Structure 1
Amino acid sequence: MNNHTRLKYTVAVILLCIAANLLVSQEPEGPDAQSSFGFGLGLDLGAVSFQEDGEAVAYQRLVLKPDFSYGKFGLGLWLPLHFRFTDNGSEFREEDWVLQDGEKPLEKYLPIFSYVRYGQKGDEFYAKLGSIEDGTLGNGFIMGGYTNTHFLPDTRIIGLSLDADGGLIGFPYIGLETFVGNLALADVIGARIYSRPLAGTSLPLLPELQIGTTFAADRIPDAQYDFVSDPDMVQMFGVDIRQPVLDKPSVSLAAFGDLVFQDEAYGGMVGAGGRIVQHILYGAQLRFLGENFLPVYFDGQYDLYRKEKYAVYNGDIEIPAYAGWYGSLGFAFLQDTVVFLTSVEGGFGEPEEDIEYPRVNATLSIGEGILPGIYFDLSYDKRFIKGLDDFSRGENTVLGTALNYKTGNALITLGYTLRHDPASAAGEDPWMTTATLTTSVDFSF
């Protein structure tokens, strides 16, 4: 197939997708008028350079992003096409779709799935394949809020989150949560099995008592960047308990606890949290952390701090045992369209090591429909806070934003991440920045 034929096929595919969307987007009639079927087509246009024979070669980028939904089922695809115009016509980059030497089929073709989803976290059956931003097991003391999206758009990592509750088959006594951060490498993995021993009773709240055990590991700690020769596998397991205490429209409260073992280190926590009048989010924990123990090892920033965490795990960096605390407070309004949540954690007494100094994490999400054409997410993470002056410095800070502007069917998205690398070598720029600007046209209905 020559280049001109390829271009004709590409244009034909785009036109067919648009035509199909216009057909299905007509108002349904009859008994199926309330059908939840949906189809959308997003188009990303831009430019990018690739290294070829030691030189940077510029290509135009066209990404088709069809999105389908039906009931609890959702599917999003990411279909990239890079091309450039030469004196002889147009030229397509075959590396987009053709396996190259050393490439594995899963690594090559899994990234075309932005996501495949059924249900939501907390449903009796939930599954999501693709980009995952909320990987959590149990109470989150081992894995809480892990995300595999830090390297977008350059690298798309395909993960899997799969939960099944025995209530689905009329046996509510057991359940399972599983997680794989990267299906192609199976590096970050985890599973939790839990039971409800009192599910068959009619006692208030006690049927919801959960007792669980969790295993999580990073089989390839240096999967994203090399920092050590032949690293050992990171692995940990724990037991947990969770008991609802109040479940009323005006206030909800659940008590929980964990005991976790990380190699030779161990730690535990007890806590409680819930909502007040559906709008105020709150939580608190007491933590008892042994030597070299890191709570929430697989957190939302894990892929950015693998090197630092591994150095503690294998004993290259030693931190003392200490008693700590954790508190969170936030609010949610307009059916969780506006959500703000901030958390602070640290150690009791006078800190002796950096790890004991407070850490602050804050997120703000303004959903679509609040501001005309604008919706966004902001995040702020600050570690090792020794004084108020530290908030004016960039060290140990990660800032993130995703700003969206929508007018009609056109959408412009600005993504920006700034991180200070405390382990950068002398003379190197310690600031690591990632900025993306994406324009798209969405034909969804």
Structure 2
Amino acid sequence: MKRLIIFVLLLSILNPVLSQRRVQRDTQPIRPQTSGEIAGGLGLSWFDGKPYYLLNISPELAFGKFGIGFDVNLRIGVNDGKIRSEDWNEFYDFLRAIRYVRYGLKGDPFYARIGALDYARLGHGTIIYYYKNNASYDDRKVGLEFDVDFGKFGFESVTSDLRRVGVFGVRGYVRPLKLTPAGEIPVIGNLELGATYATDFDKDALARYDSIQRKIVRDGKKPDIIGFDIGLPIIRTKIFGWDLYFDYVKFLNYGSGIAYGTIFDFKGLGILNINAKIERRNFGDQFLPSYFNYFYEIERFNLRDTVNATSKLIALQNAKKTAGTYGELIFTILGQLQVVGSYQQLDATPESGTLHFDLKIPQVLPTIVIDAGYDKVNIKDLRDAFKLDERSLLYAQVGYKPVKYIIVSMFYQWTFKPVRTDNGTKYEVQKRVEPRVSFVFPFGTK
């Protein structure tokens, strides 16, 4: 007991003012330093070998905490002179031209974003982490993130598609000691308890393989997930942060698992910021961590032929008891260059590697712009990690600024296009190549 008291006293010296709010690491793209930019350009697009002339208008505007982004693309066939029909064949396509509208940023006391979800997550990410609702360019959705932190309690939520609902998750949390005078005690006073519920209302989330009928049917048990978590900020200063956490997760119709780890934050006076996360995972049979992730929209159900398909639910049903380690590292230099990398590996499953990588260099070099992201699942070894195939997602843009407001660039994307059939959706690899000449005109300052 004496040692515990001394430990708490030492921490109180290191941490004189603990934040009243939940601390969340910012793994979203680097925050813009201006209040907006008007961007657009001319170029060429290739979709599966077919060329299109491209006219792009993509302004991003910010007014205080409000932000809005557009992505309007007119593609005219080089051979037939017709606008690409897949881009504008229903009313929903016009709505999706507004890429997102947001208020605040993830981790703020009030945060809302509607449209494209790029890095959606709940809590420590054991259920929903790095979820993207727009894994395919031709299957873009309008989703919603909505978080409110009242200090003593709050909630965060994710909805993947406001038209068809799809993935839905909500996490409520409370800081119980903040409801009492004990909330002023350093360290312990910031103890946070959370509870999460997540599911997928899409009918393809029920897909499974019927061995008797020898075909895919959609009568599986829904992947309803509940979770309980404990978080404790040990140190919270302007320069250094250290958190501990423990998560318990249960698929109501399947297995359960636990994850526990630590998060470190270092803020080096705007010169170098480092965020690190190391997590140990222990799972029972029929359990998968971060079930709703950046690959989920492709993994949910992908029809290969009339009796053959891949399904996230099938993978869940076949998952065996195991343990593994997850690590994540984020570098931000001078508030500009940002590198995000994460990797998971299960102990007893060689083909279980999961990689996420982001590189953003918007202004470090005055004339060079680089933006790239790469995701891959079911990695066998290091050689397999960077092989592009049906387990990969990739985008990369490299540009040169001959003058201040013009960028000459090449954009490449390896993604998937949905092909609708009577039996379901088949996702095929889609290669998107676009040489661009763009103008970018920033205005205002924060």
Q: Does the TM-score normalized on the shorter chain lie above 0.5? A: yes
Q: How does 1:169-208 map to 2 (within 5 A)?
A: 172-200=151-179, 201-208=183-190
Corresponding position of 1:215: 197
Identify if the C-alpha distance between structure 1 residues 409 and 268 changes in structure 2 by more than 3 Å, giving closer, same or farther: same
Distance in 1 between residues matched to 2:34 and 2:334, nearest whole Å: 25
Cα deviations by residue, 1:222-261 (Å, 9 ceiling, x for unpaired): 49x9995546543212111211011134531101111111
Identify if the C-alpha distance between structure 1 residues 378 and 231 changes in structure 2 by more than 3 Å, giving closer, same or farther: farther
1:363 Cα shift? 2.9
1:46 Cα shift? 4.6
Corresponding position of 1:156: 140
Counterpart AA for 2:133: N
Counterpart AA for 1:133: D
Cα deviations by residue, 1:68-124 (Å, 9 ceiling, x for unpaired): 3211111223445567999xxx99899977xx7xx5x5x244213121111111111
Contact 2:299–2:312, Cα closer than 8 Å, also in 1: no
How many residues align? The count is 377
Distance in 1 between residues matched to 2:332 and 2:442, nearest whole Å: 27
Counterpart AA for 1:325: T
Corresponding position of 1:17: none
Distance in 1 between residues matched to 2:246 and 2:354, nearest whole Å: 21
Corresponding position of 2:287: 293
Matching of residue 405 in structure 1 with residue 420 in structure 2: no
Higher strand share: 2
Contact 1:113–1:158, Cα closer than 8 Å, also in 2: no
Match among 262, 283, 294 for residue 272 of structure 1: 262
Corresponding position of 2:38: 41
Match among 85, 93, 117 for residue 102 of structure 2: 117
Contact 1:191–1:214, Cα closer than 8 Å, also in 2: yes
Identify if the C-alpha distance between structure 1 residues 236 and 391 changes in structure 2 by more than 3 Å, giving closer, same or farther: closer
Distance in 1 between residues matched to 2:314 and 2:129, nearest whole Å: 21
Distance in 1 between residues matched to 2:60 and 2:359, nearest whole Å: 26
Q: How does 1:100-111 map to 2 (within 5 A)?
A: 103=90, 105=91, 107-111=92-96
Contact 1:221–1:310, Cα closer than 8 Å, also in 2: no
Q: Could you tell which deviates more after superposition, 276-285 or 287-296? A: 276-285
Identify if the C-alpha distance between structure 1 residues 57 and 301 changes in structure 2 by more than 3 Å, giving closer, same or farther: closer
Counterpart AA for 1:132: L
1:434 Cα shift? 3.6
Distance in 1 between residues matched to 2:109 and 2:285, nearest whole Å: 38
Corresponding position of 2:66: 73
Identify if the C-alpha distance between structure 1 residues 331 and 138 changes in structure 2 by more than 3 Å, giving closer, same or farther: same
Contact 2:45–2:435, Cα closer than 8 Å, also in 1: no
Distance in 2 between residues matched to 1:281 and 1:57, nearest whole Å: 42
Distance in 1 between residues matched to 2:46 and 2:385, nearest whole Å: 37
Match among 348, 358, 361 for residue 363 of structure 1: 358
Distance in 1 between residues matched to 2:294 and 2:148, nearest whole Å: 23
Distance in 1 between residues matched to 2:70 and 2:166, nearest whole Å: 23
Counterpart AA for 1:122: G
Overall identity of the aligned pairs, in %: 28
Counterpart AA for 2:189: P
Contact 1:241–1:257, Cα closer than 8 Å, also in 2: yes
Counterpart AA for 1:208: N
Match among 415, 432, 440 for residue 438 of structure 2: 440
Counterpart AA for 2:38: L
Counterpart AA for 1:287: R
SS, match of residue 370 in structure 1? coil
Cα deviations by residue, 1:286-306 (Å, 9 ceiling, x for unpaired): 111111211011112222322
Identify if the C-alpha distance between structure 1 residues 409 and 313 changes in structure 2 by more than 3 Å, giving closer, same or farther: same
Distance in 1 between residues matched to 2:131 and 2:283, nearest whole Å: 21
TM-score calculated relative to the size of structure 2: 0.71
Corresponding position of 2:329: 329
Distance in 1 between residues matched to 2:223 and 2:156, nearest whole Å: 20
Identify if the C-alpha distance between structure 1 residues 389 and 76 changes in structure 2 by more than 3 Å, giving closer, same or farther: closer
Unaligned runs of 5+ in 1: 1-35, 51-55, 167-171, 422-428
Unaligned runs of 5+ in 2: 1-32, 209-214, 303-308, 418-426
**Higher RCO (C-alpha under 8 Å, 6+ residues apart):** 2
Q: Could you tell which deviates more after superposition, 173-182 or 372-381? A: 372-381
Contact 2:299–2:311, Cα closer than 8 Å, also in 1: no
TM-score calculated relative to the size of structure 1: 0.72
1:431 Cα shift? 6.1
Corresponding position of 1:372: 366
1:339 Cα shift? 2.3
Distance in 2 between residues matched to 1:305 and 1:80, nearest whole Å: 27
Distance in 1 between residues matched to 2:176 and 2:376, nearest whole Å: 41
Identify if the C-alpha distance between structure 1 residues 378 and 38 changes in structure 2 by more than 3 Å, giving closer, same or farther: closer
The CA RMSD measured in Å over matched residues stands at: 4.0
Q: Which is higher, the Rg of structure 1 or of structure 2? A: 1
SS, match of residue 289 in structure 2? coil
Distance in 1 between residues matched to 2:379 and 2:149, nearest whole Å: 41
Contact 1:244–1:254, Cα closer than 8 Å, also in 2: yes
Q: How does 1:88-99 map to 2 (within 5 A)?
A: none
Distance in 1 between residues matched to 2:377 and 2:50, nearest whole Å: 40
Contact 1:219–1:234, Cα closer than 8 Å, also in 2: no
